[in-house]
Amino acid sequence: MKDNNNTGNKSEARNRIRRLCVAAAFSAMICVATGFLPAVPVGTGYVHLGDAVIFVCAALLPVGYAAPAAAIGASLADVFAGYAAYVPATFVIKALTVLAFSHGKGKMISRRNLAACAIAAPICVGGYFLWEALVFSSLVAPLASVIGNLIQSVGSSVLFFAFSFIADKTGLSHKLK
């Protein structure tokens, strides 16, 4: 007689391995989109496509997979781009950003993910402001990055919703989850 519990364990193990592989792929995509695709220098940093990929990752994967993917991918991009001093902040900020999004069986465009984009902006802007205030020992110097970080968040939200609209309409979002 077959053990149904063993079949369930194999299926769950396959799901965990698949999610881990998808998270690793997202981490690489986040690193490339953040540090290697064309970016616009602003203040003490740069505006890039990486956060849009983080938002997609957060909407498709459970938090336990998406948060490390976002934190590792974005942190590696900081190292490769010469912003190693920002790695501790980036690691925490990108992981916290993921917490706002919802991973579920439904569509990527949802009220919660709309709210998540609004929550991501203060996490990014506020997180980097606090980090730069600590690093530069000034509350004035970090002001140079506020507009760039805000543009980063808004632009990433627009790209996230553009991708999500296409993914939801074509059924791709259900296949990716």
pLDDT digits (tens, 9 = 90+) for 74-111: 999 999 999 999 999 999 999 999 999 877 667 899 88
Whether 119 has a pLDDT exceeding 70, the answer reads: yes
Q: What's this model's pTM, rounded to 2 decimal places?
A: 0.89
Question: Whole-angstrom Cα distance, residue 125 to residue 133?
Answer: 12
* Matching CATH number, 4-176, of 3.40.50.2300, 1.10.1760.20, 3.40.1190.20, 1.10.10.10: 1.10.1760.20
- pLDDT higher for 86 or 175? 86
Q: Cα torsion at 54, 55, 59, 65 (round to 10°)?
A: 20
HEC per residue, 87-149: HHHHHHHHHHHHHCCCCCCCCCCCHHHHHHHHHHHHHHHHHHHHHHHHHHCCCCCCHHHHHHH
Whether 6 has a pLDDT exceeding 70, the answer reads: no
Residue pLDDT, tens place only, 35-59: 899 887 776 666 789 999 999 999 9
pLDDT the model gives residue 98: 96
Residues β-bridged to residue 40: 47
Whether 3 has a pLDDT exceeding 60, the answer reads: no
Count of other CB atoms within 10 angstroms of residue 36: 14
Termini Cα distance of the chain: 33
pLDDT the model gives residue 1: 47
Residue pLDDT, tens place only, 126-173: 999 999 999 999 999 899 889 888 988 998 999 999 999 999 999 887
Structural domain boundaries of the chain?
4-176
pLDDT the model gives residue 73: 98
